[in-house]
Structures are given as structure tokens and as C-alpha cells.
Structure 1
Amino acid sequence: MKKISIVGAGRVGETTAQILAETELCRDIALFDVREDVPEGVALDILQSAPFFKFDGVLSGSNDPHILRDSDLVIVTAGFPRQPGMSRADVLESNVRIIDQVTDHIMTHAPNAMILVVSNPVDTLTYRVAQRTGWGRERVFGQAGVLDASRMASFIAQETGFSTRDITTLVLGGHGDTMVPVTRFCTINGVPIAHFLSKERIAAIVERTRTGGAEILALRKNSSAYDAPGAAVAAMVDAIANNRRRLLPCVALLDGEYGETDIAMGVPCILGERGVESVVTLDLNAEERADFQRSAQAVRIDIERLNML
């Protein structure tokens, strides 16, 4: 990709830009934010770290949406962060207004771009962007499952002492308290985690995964997570930029998969240079299907609220 733009120069946007610059996934990175001078300052700060991390490239920032022009990919991190005690759904009404405006800017200045939504509630806002643009699911998708799976993998590593390099996890469903960590597909170098952990410990890890973002928010008090979310976004960008065709859990529009339509939520996707190339439908057992349907219902409640705004 020739150009990647990041909407929102807050902590997630800045961390994402830093990682993308360091890994040289794109030489032209643009930051757009409505706060005066902030995106310019973030871009300049990252550029001045180049001699230490040995990367080249162009980083720029602006309050003018024209900076989005000719982007191949636009990453949307803008929005009001949740505060301690709030759910991701609690910021829906505030953030949908921001997302609508951002979407219009993208359609005007980068009509051929792919859009990666990070702002919360990500499932509902991904649905909104797709609805507003009319673009297909290959071009409009969201980040959630990659982050949730990495959190789960880190918890398993802490519990077992094994290297995170050997741990594979899978989290489906909505990015919230009803997310579905599918433990049957979680392994340590191919060996199911049930071989190493009791049912009680696995259940505790599942619950901690579901509340992983809230745990960090409660500890930080003045900020939600941004290091791991930025790294999760960068992993998705790497899959697209290098056409790796990785199997990653992404927020995607569903068209009959898992028995769901007219909804966006986390499912296994093949992610490559064209964005979401396909959705992989797993053969879930009865318990997993019930959990997935429960998660879908929670997302639908937010979509219904969205349609009334």
C-alpha cells in the first residue's frame, strides 16, 4: 500500500502509527484529527524516533480531511473513550455522530480505500460504516477478535508458563461482555489447552478475556488500553499490506454465515490484499452456537438503538 491514513490521533491512533512506521508497512502515513495541531505534533514526534528505530517514511498530520486523499486504507480510531464503569455500548450515541462525519470524509477524499474500524462499539460502528458507504464487506471491516485473542493468549501464557509464540487462540462474536472465546480451538503448539489446564482455570481465563479491556481501564483509571489495540491493528495491516491471507477473527458483515444476516460481528476471516477475502464458517457445537447467538443478540440491540439515532 502506498498510503495509510489514521483518523484519530489519540493514544490508539498514535500507537498504531508508531508501529506501522517502525515496521515500515507503509512509507506514507497520515494522521487526521479535529483537535488543532495535535495530529501534526504526533506525526512530528514519531518522525523524530526514526533514527532510533531505523525506519524511513513520511508521516504527516492535519485537521483538514483532505489529508485522507488517495489513501489505500483508512484506520478509524476516533471517538469518545469509555470511562471506568462504562460498557463499550455506552459510547454509541456519542461516537456514531463522529463516525458518520468521518465516513463522509473518507467517501469524499478516499473513495477507493478500505476502512478498518477500531472505534467502539466496533461491531455496531462497522455496520454503520458499511451501511453509510454501501461498500462490500471486503472493504469495510473491524478490529476486535485479534485483540481479544491476543489477550486470551497472554492469560494462558501467564497461567501455564509456556511461550506466547506457541499459543493459538480464537475469539468470536461481539466485542463486549458476550464475546465468545472458543476454547476448543485454543492450543499450545497444536495441543488443546485442556491438556494443561483444568476446566475451572479455563473458565476463569474465558471470563478474564471477556473483561480484559475493562480490567485495564479500571487499573489505568484515566485511559483505556492502547498498546495491545495498536499492535492488533498493525497485525491486520501486515496481513493486508503483504497479502499474507491470514486467518484472523475480524468484525465482518454476515450474509448467512453462522445463521446471521444484516449484522457485523467477529468471525474468522481470510485477510489479504483485497481486505476480507472470505468468511470461514466453523462447525460450532451446541454450546458454542448458543453463545454466538447470545452475542449476536447483544449486537442487534445496539444496531436497533443505532437505527433510532
Structure 2
Amino acid sequence: MVNKITVVGAGNVGATTAQRIAEKSLGRTVVMVDVVEGVPQGKGLDQWESAPVEGFDTRVIGSNGYEETAGSDIVVITAGIARKPGMSRDDLLNTNAGIVKSVAEQIKATSPNAIVIVVSNPLDVMCHVAKHVTGFPRERVIGMAGVLDTARYRSFIAEALDVSVRDIQAMVLGGHGDTMVPLISYTTISGIPITQLMPREQLDAIVQRARDGGAEIVKYLKTGSAYYAPSSGAVEMVDAIVHDRKRILPCAAWLEGEYGMSGLFLGVPCKLGKNGLEKILEIELTADERTALDRSAQAVREPMSVLSL
């Protein structure tokens, strides 16, 4: 347990993230920050009142400012507008960049030693905004994307094969969006290669559904976007850091030569521990996977080139 964890944004993703952090007792205090007056305070109070039933002592509070967040060990940024039907993640770029920039300025001023986990979309570019504005080292600015994308991929495989999700080992790299790269060569069921259990046509369909996972939910909800799975992904990263678990998770990390790339955030295998990003693992990829990763990196660089900071 750390002393204080801040969640910026008290919408569906942020509030669910705060509740899960509290229920797992990952911090002594969880602070939810949101610009809408009363919303973080009301949700925080509601969550705190669930503590006697759920059995946690983490104090949850809400705020419209950053005074209560001072000295946070970890900050999870979920703030930003949500996707609407027909809206791509890149459509969110300009609006959410301004929001994340403002948040990052506050984090730098009030919690200069925090580890920052970015959830806001478009994810890879918002990570760049947060790192640029805070000036934090890459070890302390990480994006939650691959954990979510991998969870979707694994859930669809489990459904198709009628097996437990716990027995599926998989990893999704690349940018968070249509160019994400599920690694078929590393996908196994209790060590059995997925290609021995499923025809390639069916697997390709699952890969595509994983890529469209967020859009599929937006289509159903019509007025919102996913939040249960994204919050789970963020909390898994928080848990790995708080408990120094040395977990190997696919996260958006700032590359400095890994995979032959530099100067961008991209989903890669990361070791997470008490210091945040402790190592990027460079693994062997098939020729097709390498080509797909390069293509994904280019898709990330394009919106970065028009970003004004």
C-alpha cells in the first residue's frame, strides 16, 4: 500500500478505477479530481460509504482542485471527452490534448515524484503530452492500452474455445487503435500454440474483433464508451507498481532505440515495479508482426506531427 493515489476524471472510467483501487487497498487515500462541481465529491463519498460492506479502509475523497492530491505516489489520468459513435480516437486529439496538458501541469506542480499512468485517448499521443509537459523520465509516464487490448483478445479466444481466460497467454503490442498488433506467435492456451487449436481464419476474425473492441462497445452504448475493462487494465498496472510485482505487461512506453524506434510511445512488453517502468523487453517477432508493428508506429507518429504543445 502506498500513501496516496490520485485519479483524474470522475467519469465512468475514473470512478470505476478509484473504486477498484480502494477495494484492493492499494493506497491509504484515493483522491478523485474532476472539473464538474460536486461530482467527484459525491462519488467519492458514495464509495467511502461502501467501505464497511466491502471491507476496505482506503479513504476515498473527491475534489475539484489539486490541493488534496499533493504528494501523490501514483496518478491515473482518465480525463477527457469520451468517444461517440462514428468518432475515431484521433478525432479526440485536440480537445483531449488540451485537457491532458492542463492536468500534467498540475501534477508536475503538486506531485513531482509521482508515477503517471495515462488512460485518456488517443492514448499514445496523450502519453506524449503528459511526458512532455511534466518533464518526468520515461520510467514514470506509462500508458494503459496493451493490457486492455490483450484482455479483449484473450476474452474473445476464451469464448471461441470455451476455455478459461486464465489459461490463455497472449500479448498485444503497438498503438492503441486499429493498428494494434496481437502477437499470434506468442498466443498459447496453457502452453499450447493457438494455431493448433483454432483455424487461422477464425483467429484472424478474433484479431479484427479485438482491434474493433472499443468501437463495438461504443456502438452498443451510443452515448458512452467502455469503462469496466479499461479501469481493470489501469488498476492491474497500479497493483503491479504498488506491490513491486515485476509484472510483464504490454504498456505504452517511450521508446529510446528499442525495436529500432525512438521518440514515441508504443505498446511494448514492460516490466512494472515500484519504480514504474523498470525495463522494456525486446522479443523476437515474425516478419509479419514486425511489419505490423512498424505500421502501427507510423500511425502513432502521424497525429504527433500535428500536435501543438
Q: Provide the TM-score with structure 2 as the length reference.
A: 0.98
Amino acid corresponding to residue 13 of structure 1 in structure 2: G
1:52 is displaced (CA, Å) by 2.2
Contact 2:85 2:218 in 1 (8 A): yes
Partner of 1:153: 154
What is the CA deviation profile of residues 220-253 of structure 1, one whole-angstrom value per residue up to 9, with x for unaligned ones?
A: 1111000011111111111001000000001000
1:57 is displaced (CA, Å) by 1.7
Cα distance in 1 for residues equivalent to 2:242 and 2:92? 31
Task: Say whether 1:224 aligns with 2:225.
Answer: yes
Q: Equivalent residues in 2 for 1:241-260 (5 A)?
A: 241-260=242-261
Partner of 1:271: 272
Contact 1:39 1:63 in 2 (8 A): yes
Task: Say whether 1:169 aligns with 2:184.
Answer: no
1:206 is displaced (CA, Å) by 0.3
Q: Indicate the SS of the match to 1:115.
A: strand
Amino acid corresponding to residue 220 of structure 2 in structure 1: L
* Structure 1 segments of 4+ aligned residues over 2 angstroms from their partners: none
What is the CA deviation profile of residues 32-66 of structure 1, one whole-angstrom value per residue up to 9, with x for unaligned ones?
A: 11110111011011112122211112111111121
Amino acid corresponding to residue 166 of structure 2 in structure 1: R
Q: Tell me the percent identity.
A: 49
Q: Indicate the SS of the match to 2:307.
A: helix
Cα distance in 1 for residues equivalent to 2:137 and 2:238? 18
Q: Indicate the SS of the match to 1:44.
A: helix
Partner of 2:135: 134
1:7 is displaced (CA, Å) by 0.4
1:108 is displaced (CA, Å) by 0.7
Cα distance in 2 for residues equivalent to 1:241 and 1:85? 37
Aligned length: 308
Q: Indicate the SS of the match to 1:238.
A: helix
Task: Say whether 1:299 aligns with 2:295.
Answer: no
Cα distance in 2 for residues equivalent to 1:66 and 1:7? 13
Amino acid corresponding to residue 6 of structure 2 in structure 1: S
Partner of 2:234: 233
Contact 1:32 1:67 in 2 (8 A): no
Structure 2 runs not aligned, ≥5 long: none
Amino acid corresponding to residue 277 of structure 1 in structure 2: E
Q: Indicate the SS of the match to 2:79.
A: coil
Contact 2:169 2:187 in 1 (8 A): yes
Amino acid corresponding to residue 49 of structure 1 in structure 2: S
1:274 is displaced (CA, Å) by 0.3
1:31 is displaced (CA, Å) by 0.6
Partner of 1:51: 52
Q: Equivalent residues in 2 for 1:60-71 (5 A)?
A: 60-71=61-72
Q: Indicate the SS of the match to 2:27.
A: coil
Amino acid corresponding to residue 301 of structure 1 in structure 2: E
Cα distance in 1 for residues equivalent to 2:30 and 2:3? 9
1:282 is displaced (CA, Å) by 1.0
Structure 1 runs not aligned, ≥5 long: none
Partner of 1:207: 208
1:190 is displaced (CA, Å) by 1.0
The CA RMSD over aligned residues, in Å, is: 0.9
Contact 1:172 1:266 in 2 (8 A): yes
Task: Say whether 1:40 aligns with 2:41.
Answer: yes
Contact 1:27 1:56 in 2 (8 A): yes
After alignment, is 18-27 or 235-244 more displaced? 18-27
1:131 is displaced (CA, Å) by 1.5
Cα distance in 1 for residues equivalent to 2:281 and 2:253? 11
